[in-house]
Structure 1
């Protein structure tokens, strides 16, 4: 049972709690309470083992292919969290005896996981347990654990087996060769793993500190090794009232780490250096290391990009803090060779691969809140250009055709070929996304445009950004198909964002985004021709420029229908029959439509998995296409009214877009109800929604829905536009964003907007149909929100 009301006083709406234990619903808490720092992702399994648990320790970037016929994935490293505890010789488990006052909590403010309860053993002895755990944001390689056991009623004998266990797998797939194990100085444990295909060395070190009744002791321990496993066994006798504390400090390093790659050290030197580091950490102890970690979270996250909401519902504030916590835990800001997986670092779902989720749903938070991390994530895509070019060449195209799923930058396309079962035929279904879901190339070009406009980072554009846009535009120019009977280019046989529609032609989202991509390349070419012709010559795109211009203007773009302004999602969607979607719209679990229909049948109905055509209004409304009549307010409203009832939101990516557009259209109550659904994707009462890991894109969408939706912050082709529409029970909203290298503090109430510039540099802001130029602070009393105009106030 998840509970979000346990935080009190200064910790109100900071605490994610589990108030009852169930061995049948472990996955929710394990994923939602994940600990991470962008390098390490540690799923929060309990210390004592259970049958349905999923113990995951991931290091970002360590991709490996277990077998030749499988795709690469993030391997599950050796487990360091399991403690085999025996009380009076009997295995400790919450499935036995009696548990009282159970509570497990993730403190979002300090990023510490705690678990406390009193337990009466089958022999009737009372014991109090208190577990603590963190993954350091101060030292990316460090995991800290602490266990306290207090005898409440009787003398007890306690035995604890603790070490490093490499007998774990990725759902049965073993990624590592048998490695060396050793125990140094009777307390430092080391285990080496090497991936069996990518040959990445992993060195794990762990050490225990023992404290009894407040005094640090040197305890004897038995040393043991087994296949892929090494551990120590500590035995204690506690009297009534005695308290045992056991700290377990672990470090993880890999040969793929940036410093290891740069220094080129051999494995032996690598092992000795990492062990030396742990010796230093062991003397500091859990509490001191945790304090440094806590301070890092305060300075890097809560002081830098916190969002404060005064709402009648405390859950709204907690959900936004949860989003900021998870976004920080998942982002590899330390290394631009790494991306963000669809399940972040919280589970094995989607194998750690990066999708378009990053650019459209996650990256915006970093662009506005942590531009350095945003640049790192985009550089990861730049590093993937060789793989994208290879995929294009393999498919007979030019330029860069980005992989639908991306792992290590040089891996290229890593989408699995086969997926779920077909309920009608019983056969395994083919995953077509890796072959024909191609809009990701334009999505990445859009992300480059968004980043450039918001940050003004010319260095990135000169070294990475222009090349990415030119290369993806080359792909689209070669991908277009000329139809001489209609005198136009088309894009056939694709999957758009709506993955319930496979093998469609002229998907509106794909066509418009390809058009944008080529038009953007034209604009960048002309800009460089005027401002930096020497750089332009290096790209050798003079002929390509002429092709982009000619083909973009002849690309077929589905038009709003005259009778109702609805843009056809693809060539056939509007001719398909409607079915009653009521039960699917009211479903408590996603994808229940597959209980009644298979993919081929769903392909033949007017039903949409997730936001598709509607995404165009949100994305292209930020660009130089914002005044295109095909994307007007009237067309936006017509399309929202048409597609929202037909959209099942069977992807967690979907809801944020609908929140933003509903709010733009003044549908404030609907927008807020969709926002709550987005927050409940991971935080809701369903206990099986997050078993495979949290929904990273949906978490980014929570932030987007609040900032782009309710606060109305929006890029408008180089201009900052802020048109707030707060939910009626939100009384105040405060947050900061970065704009053109300057931090802006924004405060919104139901009556006014206030913006304060940190550096007193001039900023142009559009709000309420007026344009303002400010240098330090501006405050605007709200009138009715109107479309932007050319009126200017200085």
Structure 2
């Protein structure tokens, strides 16, 4: 049903296709073919309705709590994609009649969704349908669609109902109060929604333009209005070979938009100005609006980000472009007050909340490709300090304890308390991550470090970064617990990245990352004391840094850090993991869907087994080797290799985040075939042929990880404590790789073949990097032979 080789000519390896329709598997294409621009995201449901469809339209940052006993989430806006079509008075559906030459495609290069087919009605009349849709990157508030219906055999009556339907929910929860609906001049439709708790106004405008055989026609549609819904009904009689074209142009604006926030906000003014904008856009027509959108994609995305792979498997090239496409449409590059949801803007999964996924799996792409966007995403975390400080106080700690799930910056912790059913007890399971999965505070500190080392953006550190690192270090210092028997501080009752192990003590990832956070804060304090004493004094007054610095010194050196085994070199995941019962995991390692272990065990039982969702000890080794701790023998290359071989057989990769880290480390330790296999599996989580993996939305972290596996893994790009290392190890299936990165003010074009590394800068300023244990200093360009 999914095909990946339909692109030809200039669109070769740019097209994702569905070549057979099934109303049982709608979620796949709705999610992976979703459209967006970072401001809004639109799930790609078909125009005609089906029972199992999921219509989602989100505007980033419009978070709302539907009920007092629910957590805040991105509300599902009114739908403008559904169009009820009737043929000779009967409802059109692909579940009836006969469908031929069906194809639905997402063109990654132009960011346009299209669908076409020929359909023979139950009465034997043959029609050709062609649908097109895009969400504009040139105008963040704009989306447009186009319908073409052609009669191929008989005279046929065709009618369309199209408008704005606010009878939408988030899995049953309604977020909006009843708003005003209007139709102006039987042509322009406007609907106003206001969230019931956060009081965010949403103004949606839409209009239609109708042509028959390329000529404008005057149509007097029926106007209809119901509760939370307003639409127009059009009726046509087509003769054989007549072609009906309907263009629909829609805009959305909210009271959370920057321009609305900066001015003296007035809803009536927003309604009037947005309606005026719609009129201007509609005059341009679909093709003109699409051309502007396509040009921005070329100039701002593909001319900047595209990775070119000469591979025996052309799917690899498509998968990387698929990742770049979704990284673009999910990211709110326009607004520092907004983050990236775990499902992007492609579905209701995880309620639009941001996790550590952003800092560890998505942010690196922007750090090395578009530092301005990376800075925006980190500024979002800075704005979240208020919520992080509140969470720390509520839990009896100091500093900033970042929420496990974050929504609007000041909302604080928004992780739900209850989750899935317990397969053994039948009760609702408690979600503990919001309370005890605490490593995110150190993850954010690491992201600050990675960003500033790669970009040398001292201004960010001065304005935001130092405060973030100091406050997270203060949290860790207050979080540590003294163990008299060990004579050391420890961290008990936590969850690490391996969420199959709850309420563990001294999780290696958490302890080492807390240690890194404390050490980084000390380094930054000493740096400011030496070079910027005035700034240090300014921060010291509200934060008590002089006292905190002494505490960081004392506690960092006495923090228990799990040591690799003397004999096997394996770093223990926590105090008890290596002593847990081992079982045969073959059944689960060969599973076709994730989390099948929950069919046999509940979370309490899984907690007592040597089975891993994702091996957090491996993620730890990958992260810390990029830092000033890289020479610590506890995280050496030998420990990495031993730990990989121990944990990989026990890891089910039930987290979509898991495969990419394992792929990178496998390549690092010389397991090249395994690395490529893991990369391919990661690329297939969303894009691949399995039809039910993405029903709740795409896996944003995994998509960021596809880029990481290629660039950090196979191309060997790595931050090494302030230096750039390029140590390529291409898969044997790849003959050439070309891409760009940003490094400390340079834009570097990198070309890799099995025998040569070529690096070319965009200026004659000197730069240096490490390759093959040699430091290369150069201007302009350099070629380095690869053995």
TM-score, normalised on structure 1? 0.98
**Paired residue secondary structure (2:601):** coil
Alignment match, 1:341 = 341
> How large is the Cα RMSD of the aligned pairs?
0.6
Alignment match, 2:424 = 424
Matches within 5 A, 1:343-422: 343-422=343-422
**Paired residue secondary structure (1:554):** coil
Aligned-partner Cα distance in 2 for 1:359–1:583: 33
Asked whether 1:572 is paired with 2:572, we answer no
Retained in 2: the 8 A contact 1:610–1:654? yes
Aligned-partner Cα distance in 2 for 1:178–1:757: 56
Aligned-partner Cα distance in 1 for 2:113–2:347: 17
Deviations 1:93-118 (A, max 9, x none): 00000000000000000000000000
Alignment match, 2:28 = 28
**Paired residue secondary structure (2:16):** strand
Retained in 2: the 8 A contact 1:158–1:238? yes
Aligned-partner Cα distance in 2 for 1:143–1:216: 21
Matches within 5 A, 1:248-397: 248-397=248-397
Deviations 1:315-373 (A, max 9, x none): 00000000000000000000000000000000000000000000000000011111111
Q: CA deviation at 1:775?
A: 1.4
Which of the residues 634, 650, 654 maps onto 1:650? 654
Unaligned runs of 5+ in 1: 784-794
Q: CA deviation at 1:685?
A: 1.8
Alignment match, 1:717 = 721
Q: CA deviation at 1:511?
A: 0.2
Alignment match, 1:450 = 450
Aligned-partner Cα distance in 1 for 2:745–2:65: 41
Deviations 1:76-128 (A, max 9, x none): 00000000011111110000000000000000000000000000011100000
Q: CA deviation at 1:2?
A: 1.0
Q: CA deviation at 1:611?
A: 2.6
Which is worse superposed, 198-207 or 537-546?
537-546
Deviating 4+ runs (over 4 angstroms): none
Alignment match, 1:476 = 476
Matches within 5 A, 1:695-774: 695-774=699-778
Deviations 1:177-232 (A, max 9, x none): 00000011210000000000000000000000111111122211111110000000
Deviations 1:630-678 (A, max 9, x none): 1111111000000000010000000110010000011110000000000
Deviations 1:483-521 (A, max 9, x none): 122110000000000000000000000000000000000
**Paired residue secondary structure (2:84):** strand
Alignment match, 2:163 = 163
**Paired residue secondary structure (1:681):** coil
Deviations 1:544-581 (A, max 9, x none): 11111111011000001101011110000001111000
Q: CA deviation at 1:265?
A: 2.4
Alignment match, 2:48 = 48
Alignment match, 1:535 = 535
Alignment match, 1:621 = 625
TM-score, normalised on structure 2? 0.99
**Paired residue secondary structure (1:493):** coil
Aligned-partner Cα distance in 2 for 1:264–1:358: 33
Asked whether 1:555 is paired with 2:567, we answer no
Matches within 5 A, 1:467-546: 467-540=467-540, 541-546=545-550
Aligned-partner Cα distance in 1 for 2:761–2:693: 41
Alignment match, 1:73 = 73
**Paired residue secondary structure (1:682):** coil
Aligned-partner Cα distance in 2 for 1:716–1:594: 39
Q: CA deviation at 1:10?
A: 1.6
Which is worse superposed, 680-689 or 64-73?
680-689
Aligned-partner Cα distance in 1 for 2:86–2:604: 54
**Paired residue secondary structure (2:730):** coil
Alignment match, 2:9 = 9
Retained in 2: the 8 A contact 1:611–1:657? no
Which of the residues 577, 589, 605 maps onto 1:585? 589
Asked whether 1:694 is paired with 2:698, we answer yes
Alignment match, 1:463 = 463
Aligned-partner Cα distance in 1 for 2:420–2:630: 40
Aligned-partner Cα distance in 2 for 1:217–1:704: 52
Retained in 2: the 8 A contact 1:64–1:74? yes
**Paired residue secondary structure (2:557):** helix
Retained in 2: the 8 A contact 1:206–1:278? yes
Aligned-partner Cα distance in 2 for 1:616–1:625: 11
Asked whether 1:665 is paired with 2:669, we answer yes
Aligned-partner Cα distance in 2 for 1:31–1:214: 33
Alignment match, 1:216 = 216
Q: CA deviation at 1:433?
A: 0.1
Aligned-partner Cα distance in 2 for 1:692–1:704: 23
